[in-house]
Structure 1
């Protein structure tokens, strides 16, 4: 049975759930995105629009699924209900590995912005300490309870969006169309530029499932999960689009394609001086810490739901102050190990391979969730499909599946290869847990059967004996 997390234990209202979605979608990548897509021209803005439609479709699907199954675990719950234990485990395993590996990557990325903010020089010792602080401060906030998670998420979301919105809004007054460059750049056709820029932007919307994943902590999840998913996705899209447009219009194109801090360059172009770097570095550090706060919670929710069903070790199902503490600690420790590998061992390529794993692992729960919605719609499962919504929900589900499939294609061959290997490695964990469950069930059945007494004779044998003739 899934934990329904009684109403009294729900801590996230609609604003906090929306902030969770927005904060998880927007991490540190936004601060480099304009420079990343500038080489393809302004067609990349069209790519943003197309991806936003797909992301909103996916958010709406998660909202509808949460109406049917308003439980913590989101994608895991939907996959298991539709396709059974094995599909549910694959969803939980894939999502769990994605969260703690990406947390390590976020912490490492945050170190660079920290040096810009403080003006300090990089060193392995200092960088390691800063990265570990970025991992463990959000973990401690999670261990303090869901109220603290919500408070940190709200504050960090506001603090990081103020500078970004400042650039987006004020940039309108400094916008110069001559800075935009052409619609297509680098010899690409518009379709080629659209596809190439979309491949870079695809993962900008990972995190739309955050409210569904924490549905057990959201008040009135049947209504608020869907609303938070859509509002959070739209909010993130506005920041992405307006921010990128403002940078395109304030920084000359030939300079933008070489920029390592496009938002900082935009502020400097508007007002002169070099204080823009400090402002944007502050926003980036806050953004990454806020994302780590939300993703740390996500890293505990999927194994928590799976553990309630015996598909993850039982310790992951324990909660304290509304938070699965073992899941939080496990994710923090594993991310710490990856960070230590990155800074101390000097083993080349290991960290990069694990980051590739996250790009594929994020898509597996999306594909299974949207496929589950198609299954529920076709079968009318649990009497929740309304005839008036059938066509609309099917279009959204297929659109969400298509978007998720595009995510897989955009991940690249290396990511799919490495991610598939890591996903298959989880099968051994499933086999071990399934064998333990079967042994436990067999033991319970044996204990429930009454032992036969020494003088007890089966009824069939007594009847046969009575039928035999008495011999002298």
Structure 2
């Protein structure tokens, strides 16, 4: 193990792709909105009914997972103090373990972003059907899905100022209705609507693990500030703060929203509900307008998530390309955004979406979505392992008397949380994801071989 990346560490004002310095454009509020917006996608609107079969025990699972996610966020903050470059988990893995580990982190994260973006776009179409009821054609669905991909991409191509503006606005717009349901729902809370604490009949640990498996990926996105470290002002302080604040903000929305829905929708109805937040609003105020309101919120939520994840899809290959592990074209940057990476990511997501709608190849699409669930965990595991490496080897300049035990406990907790994510992904996801991860080795061999050949020339 060696420090192969120490010579590439960027100064406080990171070099842009064209060799000129640029001002960091993400302050703490924007970085926090990026984390929170990426964590909260469209899945939150189905979460209460997804975990309802496990009873109110699932609320305890939320609390346990939140602690794990905050632990991981704190570790990202510690690692950003050591190296605040754009690329986050990739940078940490490469600096600790060398090129190959760094490449695996970047490859895995990159694949996860553009495949999951396609899945988010398809999810947006379902909510559009609620807003505009009727029998929309397959081609209309495809057009809506592509628009959901390209509008955030255009915001990214306009520069980090636009990315930040869209992220803050979309986060506020989706946070307010969710918070409204969460807070107002407490006034309509009826304990009789709650189901049993543990419907399994005494197997609390089993129920807790089963509920957690459904909820684990609700916190993917905690790394977003670290991934964009090169664009964050004062990243040594703000990456960690934004990661923790964004995670806590998302957790509050998740937990309060789920509690309110549990208390306003009878358990027997909630288990079968396909729109739990809409049912909660309808039960509170009567009528059927809640469905449209929540559908609009869901679309805004997904567009905000796509805005942030489109940027993430370009950051990992940008950092790897700077080190010669991805094609050099990924280093092209304008107005603080890796434009080539944005374009490649949105084109790949668009092609996958087109295949999904035109061929009906849902089997292939579902396999790729499974791959993303495993791919998200690889950078987390390597980043937590990198922090453990710096602590155990005593080479991190942040490791000081009085902090070692605390940082070691955090790193072990983050590693354990990441392993829990792997277990929660399921056998199929791990199997498919591992095959796809190893397929990336061919890309590494090609890029590494070209770099060595150029150095010897």
| TM-score scaled by length of structure 1 | 0.93
Q: Which residue of 1 aligns with 2:346?
A: 332
Q: Which residue of 2 aligns with 1:453?
A: none
**What pairs with 1:183-262 in structure 2 (closer than 5 Å)?**
183-187=197-201, 189-262=203-276
**Within 1, Cα distance between the matches of 2:163 and 2:380?**
24
Per the TM alignment, residue 3 of structure 1 is displaced from its structure 2 partner at its CA by 4.4
Q: Which residue of 1 aligns with 2:93?
A: 79
**Within 2, Cα distance between the matches of 1:116 and 1:185?**
32
Q: Which residue of 2 aligns with 1:163?
A: 177
Alignment pair present for 1:45 and 2:24: no
Per the TM alignment, residue 187 of structure 1 is displaced from its structure 2 partner at its CA by 4.3
**What pairs with 1:121-132 in structure 2 (closer than 5 Å)?**
121-132=135-146
Say if 1:177 and 1:249, in contact at 8 Å, map to a contact too.
yes
Gaps of 5+ in 2: 1-7, 16-20
Say if 1:2 and 1:309, in contact at 8 Å, map to a contact too.
no
SS at match of 1:70: coil
**What pairs with 1:275-314 in structure 2 (closer than 5 Å)?**
275-314=289-328
SS at match of 2:403: helix
Per the TM alignment, residue 382 of structure 1 is displaced from its structure 2 partner at its CA by 4.4
**Within 1, Cα distance between the matches of 2:395 and 2:101?**
17
Aligned with residue 158 of structure 2, among 132, 136, 144: 144
Alignment pair present for 1:134 and 2:148: yes
Q: Which residue of 2 aligns with 1:116?
A: 130
Aligned with residue 345 of structure 1, among 359, 363, 373: 359
**Within 1, Cα distance between the matches of 2:132 and 2:212?**
34
Per the TM alignment, residue 312 of structure 1 is displaced from its structure 2 partner at its CA by 0.4
**Within 1, Cα distance between the matches of 2:22 and 2:426?**
45
Per the TM alignment, residue 188 of structure 1 is displaced from its structure 2 partner at its CA by 6.0
Q: Structure 1, residues 327-371: CA drift from partner, whole Å, max 9, x if none?
A: 000000000011011100122400000000000000000000000
Per the TM alignment, residue 380 of structure 1 is displaced from its structure 2 partner at its CA by 2.0
Q: Over alpha carbons, which structure has the higher Rg?
A: 1
Q: Which residue of 2 aligns with 1:179?
A: 193
| TM-score scaled by length of structure 2 | 0.96
**Within 2, Cα distance between the matches of 1:94 and 1:36?**
27
Per the TM alignment, residue 410 of structure 1 is displaced from its structure 2 partner at its CA by 0.5
**Within 2, Cα distance between the matches of 1:308 and 1:138?**
25
**Within 1, Cα distance between the matches of 2:412 and 2:302?**
32
Q: Structure 1, residues 61-113: CA drift from partner, whole Å, max 9, x if none?
A: 00000000011000000000000000000000000000000000000001000
Say if 1:76 and 1:89, in contact at 8 Å, map to a contact too.
yes
**What pairs with 1:402-421 in structure 2 (closer than 5 Å)?**
402-421=416-435
**Within 2, Cα distance between the matches of 1:298 and 1:395?**
28
Q: Which residue of 2 aligns with 1:363?
A: 377
**Within 2, Cα distance between the matches of 1:333 and 1:407?**
29
Superposition RMSD on alpha carbons, in Å? 1.0
Q: Structure 1, residues 95-150: CA drift from partner, whole Å, max 9, x if none?
A: 00000000000000010001112224332100000000000000000000000000
Aligned with residue 322 of structure 1, among 336, 345, 363: 336
Alignment pair present for 1:390 and 2:396: no
Q: Which residue of 2 aligns with 1:23?
A: 37
SS at match of 1:312: coil
Q: Structure 1, residues 27-78: CA drift from partner, whole Å, max 9, x if none?
A: 0000000000000100000000000000000000000000000110000000
Aligned with residue 59 of structure 1, among 73, 79, 99: 73
**Within 1, Cα distance between the matches of 2:135 and 2:176?**
27
